[in-house]
């Protein structure tokens, strides 16, 4: 074999060996045991932290789910309070200032009041 043929083969082989898919496959093969152990540790119920060199990962899914549920509950209570407050405002406005509004505005206000009453009553029934 001539040196130019050898050089061509080295170029072809080095291109294959140094490609990303090949290096990724090689890394997976070399680190399969540590990666397997890491996956097992994170899939366990009681494990909350894993340290890989200088990187520390935490798994707080249960706590995160509880915080998310609490945030949704808080937002639901806030929306309920806002709806009840708005209903009270509209009822007061209708009682004190309905003569100032046009017939169309009074109908629209009445429609909003009825809808808010229906929704707040429905919400109260769902709580029971």
Q: Are residues 10 and 49 in the same domain?
A: yes
Average pLDDT over residues 14-42: 74
Domain extent at residue 113: 63-127
Q: Are residues 49 and 69 in the same domain?
A: no
In degrees rounded to 5, what are phi and psi of residue 39?
-65, -40
Cβ contact 52:39 at 8 Å: no
Q: Are residues 85 and 118 in the same domain?
A: yes
Q: Are residues 92 and 119 in the same domain?
A: yes
Boundary (domain end) residue, out of 31, 59, 87: 59
Answering whether pTM is above 0.75, one says no
- How far lies 24's CA from each of 34, 36, 100, in Å? 15, 16, 75
- Distance from C-alpha of 45 to C-alpha of 106, rounded to nearest angstrom: 59
Q: What are the residues whose beta carbons fall under 8 Å from the beta carbon of 86, sequence distance 6 or more?
A: 116
| Residue 34 pLDDT grade (very low, low, confident, very high; cuts 50, 70, 90) | confident
Average pLDDT over residues 21-29: 75
Q: What are the residues whose beta carbons fall under 8 Å from the beta carbon of 58, sequence distance 6 or more?
A: 48, 49
Per-residue pLDDT at 55: 61
pLDDT in tens, 78-114: 888 888 898 899 899 999 988 899 999 999 999 999 9
Q: Are residues 103 and 123 in the same domain?
A: yes
Per-residue pLDDT at 124: 81
Q: What are the residues whose beta carbons fall under 8 Å from the beta carbon of 36, sequence distance 6 or more?
A: none
pLDDT in tens, 35-64: 787 777 666 655 566 566 666 655 555 666
Q: Are residues 46 and 74 in the same domain?
A: no
Q: How many domains does the chain have?
A: 2
């Amino acid at each position: 074999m001539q040196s130019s043929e050898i050089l061509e083969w080295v170029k072809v082989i080095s291109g294959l060996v140094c490609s990303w898919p090949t290096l990724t496959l090689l890394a997976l093969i070399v680190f399969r045991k540590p990666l397997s152990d890491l996956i097992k540790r994170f899939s366990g119920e009681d494990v909350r932290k894993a340290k890989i060199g200088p990187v520390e990962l935490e798994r707080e899914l249960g706590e995160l789910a509880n915080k998310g549920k609490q945030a949704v509950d808080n937002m639901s209570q806030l929306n309920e309070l806002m709806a009840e407050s708005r209903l009270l405002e509209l009822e007061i406005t209708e009682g004190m200032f309905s003569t100032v509004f046009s017939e169309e505005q009074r109908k629209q206000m009445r429609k909003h009041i009825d809808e808010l009453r229906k929704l707040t009553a429905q919400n109260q029934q769902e709580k029971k």
